[in-house]
A and B are shown apart, each in its own frame.
Chain A
């Protein structure tokens, strides 16, 4: 369906080609997943299929891309519009009209379809994507998942043979992501559409893929093949594949069900090796000041989590520790967990929200939130798109004044404090780190951050070099990769040494390597005594990083407790490993348990 013949793309101002040696054919009616680390040229490859590269972006394309028999060199994007449907990363940037129904019809109007045909197809598409209830709604009032579905629907109405999607679920909560992926699978099965999509969060999409198109690294030629085979050599892998590699399973499992079938062997190996139950450092409630610094001397994936708890769990808090060996069923059911949230051994809360109500416009975004953050503790804040996560973070840094209730951070009332004092108390890395960055270069940005925080000149630059070496001084912040930009924003915020650090959706657009670095960084910060709160949709991140998880729904906290307890109780928020080998949450925990005891 899509044929690449010796395709390379070279942008005018780049030293190296963005894409090199693509020579393959994507067969018709398959869901093809494009996999690769950041900056490997995934978006460029997608752009060549819909003709935006090179007609819209510029640059030189050598070789030939043919879609359904049409050469993209002679066909501009608009001439391919009836054949290729394209949905970009941000669905809001895709909308031309005001309402759902008009948006669905827009593409057909441009192509000049007959009114009766348009009417029929809009109705069909509304049903196919489950949008019938939203047909008259203004696009600006839709939630993230709804927007993404409308964006897909708006290109589906012209009945394209090929659908190209760039990270369709990266901004969505787990539930909404599944909604969108179910729609894509239905298209492939029922309509025979060829779907080509890129995604960083492989754990969400790998089980739907018929083919994987792997770009191993920048400038390396892509390979197309069977998902299980390619996952064995891919530099980016979902946890289920990592677990399979760790256990030496063959063929590699791609779905939870496949892995579960092979899991009994691993259970067997784990049982004799774990006389005591696995325990997480946070659940133990250790004063974090005593933790050794997280030194990532071996950046191997399996070493990311500290292999063993520093102190045994307090016997009073958990179930009997030695009960395991003769009662294996108990072990498999649920790991012993403290019944109470982290004990006050962690100290007084450094940030406290009590009966917090925040209204934004006519609606109450937060209704009576109670939340306490402790030094040295990492808390994950989860919940649907629009549940109020960003508003809660905003209220904690004083961007939104509470309608009622109180927010206290280290003795300050955020919305009444002067910004200069506030940044020494609490720092927020917003959803789009670009919002924080104004300067023309990294060096200027760092100098400005030092001046803002009243820190010694060079503080911010040193922090940045410590977090992520190798960012050039003269680079414009907008030219950095997503991961680099996030790190720069983090360094800027940390320059003022705030004891409370908030991050809004930090892993959006990050590949697994950048995410692993972020995990290391945040864990080191917690060890130094920072209280960290991160709002995220990424269940794997929460499982790996957070000591405590709070779930927001409709502006209320509906669950708050140790991460293991909260995520194991919910099918939506459970990480892959927990679904295969409960009560382990991450592959690293399993690896630690497999290591022979010393």
Chain B
């Protein structure tokens, strides 16, 4: 292995990554863009058939392109979470009533009389078909959003995404990832200690069992975090290059100003009325933040081992997500009622053809991306 690859070899390499037959994992950023695109599309509609189609598209791509790493199994967990959200939404609509009125009464629950100050809150009472349908559609939309995030999680682990962050944000990113691994470890600890309660002759069921292990679990988690911090320190985490203070200050100021600009610009774009200043402010803010991050990044001495390339499959994947989002956002702003089925009065769900065809674009990654490497186990 030569220290300096010959130009010809380098060119071959750069060509090979464009091919979909070279087994490699896709850039995590591409997967996140694609799934956020699908999520953005889902957020624009409550049409149940269209939402289910988005869910199917995401599920198909996950099934086709996830690796056999442990985090790839998280898709199922996100689906279950989505179902739980959907169920909760419907139950709340039944018990607390629904903001949409309706005439098709399904059943009438005994209504709890509430004092005057709780005006506007209702417990029990008539349950209408319209209310339940409305809650069902809203819940389904949330569930599909969750499934899209789950798809991104299963296809690209968040810590791989972290590797692509700019140097200035790296340390903040590590903190976030450590916090994320904290949760699964905590769950494992609670399970182990609840089992240990059985060994002490106490019941391992019920809320008390979970509460009583709280302190030992926290102690254990803290010890683990401290051990990890020590290990990271001895491995050179947080080494910095000597950079003049003035440069660092400028970088910080630029980032802050830039973020302010981005905030104002976004507000201007999204709020009512037309604000011609919004777009230039947004762009200037984004530019300033980028410059600030670049200056701050000079402090970091980190290099990257085998950075994920961004080649043709990544472009296509990201584009398919963005296209789906753009198509549905555009369609929704032109025909607002076409993507939100009427519940008062209830109508049969339809599948608008044009948006459905656009959603199918989201299937593209399943065919244009390379197979992920699978470890032999």
Query: Can you sample 22 A-B contacts with CB below 8 Å?
Result: A55-B233, A56-B230, A78-B235, A81-B235, A88-B231, A94-B231, A96-B237, A105-B306, A109-B302, A110-B239, A112-B302, A115-B303, A118-B303, A119-B1, A120-B1, A138-B69, A158-B236, A394-B195, A399-B195, A435-B192, A438-B216, A492-B200
Which listed residue (A84, A117, A134) contacts B3, Cβ 8 A?
A117
Contacts of A51 in B (CB 8 A): 234
Contacts of A420 in B (CB 8 A): 201-202
Contacts of B63 in A (CB 8 A): none
Q: How far is the CA of A77 from the CA of B230 in the complex (A)?
A: 9
Q: Which of B179-224 contact A (CB under 8 A)?
A: 192-193, 195-204, 212-213, 215-216, 219-220, 224
Q: How far is the CA of A97 from the CA of B158 in the complex (A)?
A: 11
Q: A85-B234, A137-B375, A452-B202 are in contact. List 16 more A-B contacts (CB 8 A).
A: A78-B234, A81-B234, A81-B235, A94-B231, A101-B306, A102-B305, A105-B306, A113-B303, A115-B304, A116-B5, A155-B234, A419-B202, A435-B196, A438-B215, A438-B216, A492-B200
Q: How far is the CB of B154 from chain A (nearest CB, A)?
A: 13
Let me know if A112 and B375 touch, CB within 8 A: no
Contacts of B157 in A (CB 8 A): 98
Q: Which of B60-113 contact A (CB under 8 A)?
A: 69-71
Q: How far is the CB of A429 from chain B (nearest CB, A)?
A: 8
Q: Is A447's CB within 8 Å of the partner chain B? A: no
Are A120 and B236 also in contact (CB < 8 A) when A105-B305, A419-B203 are? no
Q: How far is the CA of A82 from the CA of B235 in the complex (A)?
A: 8
Let me know if A96 and B305 touch, CB within 8 A: no
Q: Is A79's CB within 8 Å of the partner chain B? A: yes
Which listed residue (A109, A155, A493) contacts B304, Cβ 8 A?
A109
Contacts of B239 in A (CB 8 A): 78-79, 81, 110-112
Q: Which of A411-446 contact B (CB under 8 A)?
A: 419-420, 422-423, 427-428, 430, 434-438
Which listed residue (B159, B196, B198, B236) contacts A81, Cβ 8 A?
B236
Q: Give B216's nearest chain A residue, CB to CB.
A: A438
Contacts of B192 in A (CB 8 A): 435
Q: Is B227's CB within 8 Å of the partner chain A? A: yes
Let me know if B216 and A115 touch, CB within 8 A: no
Task: Write the residues of chain B forming the contact surface with A, with a CB cutoff of 8 angstroms.
Answer: 1, 3-5, 69-71, 157, 159-160, 163, 174, 192-193, 195-204, 212-213, 215-216, 219-220, 224, 227-239, 301-307, 373, 375-377
Q: How far is the CB of B28 from chain A (nearest CB, A)?
A: 12
Q: How far is the CB of A464 from chain B (nearest CB, A)?
A: 15
Contacts of A81 in B (CB 8 A): 234-236, 239
Mask: chain A, 153-174; 1 = CB below 8 Å from B; 0 = not? 0110010000000000000000
Q: Give A502's nearest chain B residue, CB to CB.
A: B199
Let me know if A110 and B236 touch, CB within 8 A: yes
Which 7 residue pairs across A and B have the least CB separation, nearest first? A81-B236, A105-B305, A110-B236, A112-B301, A423-B201, A93-B227, A435-B196
Q: Give B196's nearest chain A residue, CB to CB.
A: A435
Give the interface size bracket for A toward B. 35 or more
Mask: chain A, 498-513; 1 = CB below 8 Å from B; 0 = not? 0000000000000000
Let me know if A52 and B200 touch, CB within 8 A: no
Task: Write the residues of chain A forming the contact surface with B, with a CB cutoff of 8 angstroms.
Answer: 50-52, 55-56, 76-82, 84-86, 88, 90, 93-99, 101-102, 105-120, 122-123, 133-134, 136-138, 140-141, 154-155, 158, 394, 397-399, 419-420, 422-423, 427-428, 430, 434-438, 448-449, 452-453, 478, 492-493, 496
Q: Give B69's nearest chain A residue, CB to CB.
A: A138
Most buried by B among A51, A117, A428, A438: A438
Let me know if A78 and B233 touch, CB within 8 A: yes
Let me know if A98 and B160 touch, CB within 8 A: yes
Contacts of A434 in B (CB 8 A): 216, 220
Let me know if A116 and B69 touch, CB within 8 A: no
Q: How far is the CB of B367 from chain A (nearest CB, A)?
A: 24
Q: How far is the CA of A86 from the CA of B234 in the complex (A)?
A: 7
Which listed residue (A112, A136, A428) contacts B373, Cβ 8 A?
A136
Which listed residue (A116, A133, A448) contacts B4, Cβ 8 A?
A116
